[in-house]
Amino acid sequence: MASQPAPRRPSAAARYLVVLVIGLVAGAICSVMLLRALQARQDPFPNALMQVMGRQSSELRKAVEANRCTASDALPRLQSLRAMANDVETAFPGLRDDSRFATAASGLRATLDTALAAPPQDCAQLTAVVERVGEDCKACHRDFR
């Protein structure tokens, strides 16, 4: 009878490679689970509020660039900004008692109230309103961002 060769065993390097790949996959899965758990503990409201307010301000700047500066073009954006300005203190409860924060928030609301009381009729007026709103936003971001 002829002797048969012994079956080949996988090399040690192949076993180490398989273990390494399994470890990397398990590590990636655990990392994603950890990051999702940390993300779920954060309140999305402050970031969402700032994003929407930033977008409304950006749309007002685009309206000026496109020469669409009538009151009917600007008024909905200004009303939206004013409505969201009511929630600034709610979004940042840790800063509610800080006088600088309260002053910046009330300054933003006052600027928007003034703009809503006498809506801008042309691009020069709308540009002035957008600049004042931007200055109010920068005043707060300079101190608290």
- 46-78 burial by CB neighbour count: b if 16+ within 10 A, else e? beebbeebeebbeebeebbeeeebeeebbeebb
Decide: 111 and 137 in contact? Cβ < 8 Å: no
Residue percentage of the chain with pLDDT more than 90: 69
User: Hey, what CATH topology would domain 45-144 get?
Assistant: Four Helix Bundle (Hemerythrin (Met), subunit A) (1.20.120)
- Band of residue 11 on the pLDDT scale cut at 50, 70, 90: confident
Look at residue 124 and tell me whether its pLDDT is greater than 90: yes
Domain-by-domain residue ranges, the chain?
12-42, 45-144
C-alpha dihedral over 100, 102, 104, 108, to 10 degrees? 180
pTM: 0.72
> Mean pLDDT over residues 102-109, rounded?
93
> Mean pLDDT over residues 106-121, rounded?
94
